[in-house]
Amino acid sequence: MPDMKVNEKHVTVGKQFHDDPRMTMRNVNVFYGEKQAIHDVSIDIGKNEVMAMIGPSGCGKSTFLRSLNRMNDTVEGCRVEGEICMDGESLYNTKLDVVELRARVGMVFQKPNPFPKSIYENVAYGAKIHGLADSRIDLDEIVENSLNKAGLWKEVKDRLHQPGTGLSGGQQQRLCIARAIAVTPEVILMDEPCSALDPIATARIEELIKELSENFTIAIVTHSMQQAARVSDRTAYFHLGQLIEVNPTEQVFTMPEHELTEGYITGRFG
Amino acid sequence: MDKLSFENHIASRYDEELEQIFSQLMAMGGKVEQQVQLAVKAILDSDSNIAERVIQGDKDVDRMEIRIDEDCVLVIARRQPTASDLRLVISVTRAVADLERIGDEAEKIAKHALELIEHGPLMSGYTVVSQLGVSVTAMLHNALDAFARFDADAAMRTIDEDKQVDQEYKAALSELDTLMASEPALLKQYLNLVWIVRSLERIGDHAKNLCEQIVFVAKGKDIRHQ
Ligand SMILES: Nc1ncnc2c1ncn2[C@@H]1O[C@H](COP(=O)(O)OP(=O)(O)OP(=O)(O)O)[C@@H](O)[C@H]1O
Ligand SMILES: [Mg+2]
């Protein structure tokens, strides 16, 4: 049995690296002022892989996820150390255009947050500012394609110019996914994307995640063990800011390597 | 072996549900073990009362199987067990099926015992049944004991005992063959004994399956068909 204690020099158990990585993170530390929220995390996310990140509330999942597209830059007092690369290129390179980065590494949040604009504009907006469309026809095509991939096209094609905020919660979340896809990202980060949705809307999003993984790399934070088990290829377990274990999802849910993982996923006291 | 305790779930009712399932499995194991012992005794003592008791007792075994299976389905629906909890529940549903089959074999033995008694007991051929009976009941006992403690090492040792049982089974068959050839008039009775040793051998196989489930629970390894 690997050491149970969470200590400074702990070693992540399992398979944290990947043969064909899209993103590589090495010795990542994240601080909020004096307080360290992420301790020395190293992990790869493979191309077309769905990586689930699980762990108790406050263990740093969102913090880590946000450092993957520099969303932490916007958080007062937040400092990120270590190496975070996409396709071998450091994301914390000072010359890097952060707006462009956020298009390449898109994000979907817990609460659907469509802009107070039409459904069409919600999806078209990013494509427009990133200059992905030369004409109205191009833009129409991007909007239709993205809504299609997000599984929303049929439901909204006759009301494209009505406000996005008028959709149901599940539809809004798929709209946000369409918005993220529209700028052809390489990676999509999702932070508890289904926590505000009912089982049917959740099933739709999960189905969508599986389909999207054919074209994108996905990292998803979830509090639902079953969701992680259903959608992901590998699962990463975080505990008090440390990465305890990364393993193929089927292994994590049947025979986890670390006792802390076992305790968490079986619902036992830590 | 704290990794395989039922305890410490944040939902304490979950501990109780698993505990309950497991203690029912142990009770069923005890009942089935007794059925096998009694069935063997019925032949060796030519006791039709005991044979009848075994046949009646199989209904209890069947009821236990259904009850435990239902409880496993419920705990899966309610709790969606994972990791060691999942392996435990799955292994219980498999073990219950093997125990039920052992119960059926005990019942078959008892029925053959009744036929034998009716035809008039034999003068020879019981030694092989007795010997195999001892080995098989010991094997079953060891399997259940290992299950109670999730002891994968003991389970592996018990799996090894199956080789001995298979040898004794072959020896018993050839002995009964010789006896049948020398006393063709008693063919029917000897065939009862053939069926009985066959059932005992099957019980050994089921006991081995139980042991494989222990290894699955304790180690997460599926060693079936290896
Ligand atoms: N803006 C912030 N300023 C200071 N501390 C923060 C900030 N955001 C998060 N933290 C702290 O960092 C730690 C990790 O928080 P984080 O939100 O990443 O956890 P989480 O795993 O996503 O939890 P949850 O499952 O509840 O969403 C917590 O102790 C939290 O209080
Ligand atoms: Mg969070």
Which among A30, A38, A63 is the best mutation to test ligand 1's pocket, defined by most ligand atoms within 8 Å of the CB? A63
User: Going by DSSP bridges, is the β-strand pair A234-239/A242-248 parallel, antiparallel, or unpaired?
Assistant: antiparallel
User: How many angstroms separate the CA of residue A249 from the nearest CA in chain B?
Assistant: 11
Assigned fold of A13-265:
Rossmann fold (3.40.50)
Residue A52 pLDDT greater than 60, yes or no: yes
Looking at chain A, the whole-number percentage of residues with pLDDT higher than 70 is 96
Q: Give dist(CA B89, CA B97) in Å, integer.
A: 13
As a whole number of angstroms, the longest Cα–Cα distance in chain B is 68
| pLDDT, tens digit, 9 for 90 and up, residues A243-259 | 999 999 999 999 999 99
Q: Which residue of B has its CA nearest to A261?
A: B83
Q: Give dist(CA A4, CA A8) in Å, integer.
A: 12
Query: Which residues does residue A38 pair with via DSSP β-bridges, in sequence order?
Result: A30
Strand ranges in chain A using DSSP code E only, listed in sequence order: 13-14, 21-32, 35-46, 50-54, 78-86, 89-90, 105-108, 187-191, 217-221, 234-239, 242-248
CB contact under 8 A, A268 and B84: no
Residue ranges per structural domain of chain A: 13-265
Contact by Cβ (8 Å): A107, A190? yes
Question: ipTM exceeding 0.85?
Answer: no
Residue B123 pLDDT greater than 90, yes or no: no
Q: Give the burial string for A196-229 (b: 16+ CB within 10 Å, else e).
A: bbeeebbebbbebbeebbeebbbbbbbebbebbb
| pLDDT, tens digit, 9 for 90 and up, residues B46-63 | 999 999 999 999 999 999
User: Going by DSSP bridges, is the β-strand pair A50-54/A234-239 parallel, antiparallel, or unpaired?
Assistant: parallel
CB contact under 8 A, A254 and B83: yes
Whether the pTM exceeds 0.80: the reply is: yes
* CA dihedral sign of residues B122, B128, B134, B135: negative
More confident: A61 or A10:
A61
| pLDDT, tens digit, 9 for 90 and up, residues B190-202 | 999 999 999 999 9
Question: Which ligand 1 atom sits nearest the alpha carbon of residue A55?
Answer: 21
Q: Which of A237, A266, A253 is closest to A13 using CA atoms?
A: A237
Query: For residue A259, which residues of chain B lie inside 8 Å, CB to CB?
Result: 3
| pLDDT, tens digit, 9 for 90 and up, residues A203-255 | 988 998 998 999 999 999 999 999 999 999 999 999 999 999 999 999 999 99
Could you tell me how far CA A158 lies from the centroid of its own chain? 30
Q: Give dist(CA A61, CA B33) in Å, integer.
A: 51
Q: Give dist(CA A64, CA A137) in Å, integer.
A: 39
| pLDDT, tens digit, 9 for 90 and up, residues B125-153 | 899 999 999 999 999 999 999 999 999 99
Domain spanning B12-219, CATH class: mainly alpha
Coil/strand/helix, residue B222: coil
| Nearest Cα residue to atom 31 of ligand 1 | A58
**pLDDT mean across residues, chain B:** 94
Match 């520099």 to its residue by tokens.
A70
Residue ranges per structural domain of chain B: 12-219
| pLDDT, tens digit, 9 for 90 and up, residues B8-37 | 899 999 999 999 999 999 999 999 999 999
Helix or strand holding residue A161 (H, E): none
Residue A116 pLDDT greater than 60, yes or no: yes
Q: Which two tokens stand for residue B153?
A: 């090492």
Helices B48-79 and B83-119 cross at an angle (nearest 10°) of 160
Provide φ and ψ at A196, rounded to 5°: -100, 15
Contact by Cβ (8 Å): A149, A214? no
Query: Which residues does residue A218 pair with via DSSP β-bridges, in sequence order?
Result: A50, A188
Q: Give dist(CA A238, CA A245) in Å, integer.
A: 7
Which whole-number Å values give the CA distances from A12 to A54, A151, B160, in the listed order?
14, 37, 38
Query: Ligand 1: distance of its center to the CA of A244 in Å?
Result: 17
> Does A57 touch chain B if contact means CB atoms closer than 8 Å?
no
More confident: B3 or B39:
B39
**pLDDT mean across residues, chain A:** 93
| pLDDT, tens digit, 9 for 90 and up, residues B160-178 | 999 999 999 999 999 999 9
Q: Which two tokens stand for residue A75?
A: 């958080």
Sheet holding A35-46, edge to edge: A35-46, A21-32, A78-86, A89-90
Q: Give dist(CA B65, CA A51) in Å, integer.
A: 40
